[in-house]
Amino acid sequence: MVSIISKFDWLSEYYTKYRPSYSEDSINYILKTAKNNVEYIADIWAWTWKLTEQFLNKWKVVYAVEPNHEMLNQLITKLWNAENFRYIQSTAENISLPDGSIDLVAVGQAFHWFDTKLFKKECKRILNKTWRVAILYNNWDKNSEIIKVIDELSKKYCPLYKWSSWWLDNKESVFKEFFSEYETLMFPNDYTLTLEAFLWLNFSASYAPKQWDKNYLTYKENLETIFNKYALWGLITMNNNTVLRLWVI
């Protein structure tokens, strides 16, 4: 687990600047389905702050649980003055929260990094009464022409590429094993990027080539070509959906 956590050391600034938030409709749906009977939320692997802030805006007490020191520093810098904000440096498999202290566990863009059996055990320990869990992903729309072009480029130059976060779409057994019952919903969540943001969004992916890799410059040049082809007035629109899976484990 240490190696997984440390691989994100240099990405905290780019996650802060360029990773999108989640659909507000998805956040509202979670809280509505819980019938607003949620006071304490734990955002597991909170990254830099995006999902934590969205729950904080609903006037809930949110514990941001983040294992990476640099990510956690970005999160604290952004949210330190929010009265309902709490933070813990901890992993998903060993959450430093008391038994039965949380009403809802949320995970944004991180579930695929977890040991799901250990995480499920920890969720059952820290959750109070109903074992409510919400798992969110921002997934690019695979039917979008831009996304198809990026997909082909990544297959060619990124040996670690696995269709990004939506590799779980074809592994529903992972969720069936984790949840005792759940539903899957999709909420439109398109966003626009400048060239700089577009490049860093792609290079912040775990599968992207690093500056010392032989494919780095070629990958970057091709990304710039894609941007110039599809951008309008200096901005490119990424067709994206927030996919939400929830409820009881």
Domains of the chain, residue spans: 2-142+163-190+240-248
pLDDT digits (tens, 9 = 90+) for 100-140: 999 999 999 999 889 999 999 999 999 997 789 999 999 99
Residues with Cβ within 8 Å of 156's Cβ and at least 6 positions away in sequence, in order, are none
Q: How far is CA 232 from CA 54, 82, 151, 235, in A?
A: 29, 37, 21, 5
Q: How far is CA 68 from CA 82, 96, 183, 188, 246, in A?
A: 21, 14, 30, 29, 25
The torsion angles phi and psi of 39, rounded to 5 degrees, stand at -115, -40
Tell me what pLDDT residue 238 has: 95
Whether residue 3 is predicted with pLDDT greater than 60 in this model: the reply is no
pTM assigned to the model: 0.89
What whole-number distance in Å separates Cα of residue 129 and Cα of residue 34? 12
Annotation: CATH topology of 2-142+163-190+240-248: Rossmann fold (3.40.50)
CB-CB contact of 65 with 45 (8 Å): yes
Bridging pattern class, strands 40-44 and 61-65: parallel
pLDDT digits (tens, 9 = 90+) for 211-249: 899 999 999 999 999 999 999 999 999 999 999 999 877
Residues with Cβ within 8 Å of 158's Cβ and at least 6 positions away in sequence, in order, are 205, 207, 208, 209, 215, 219
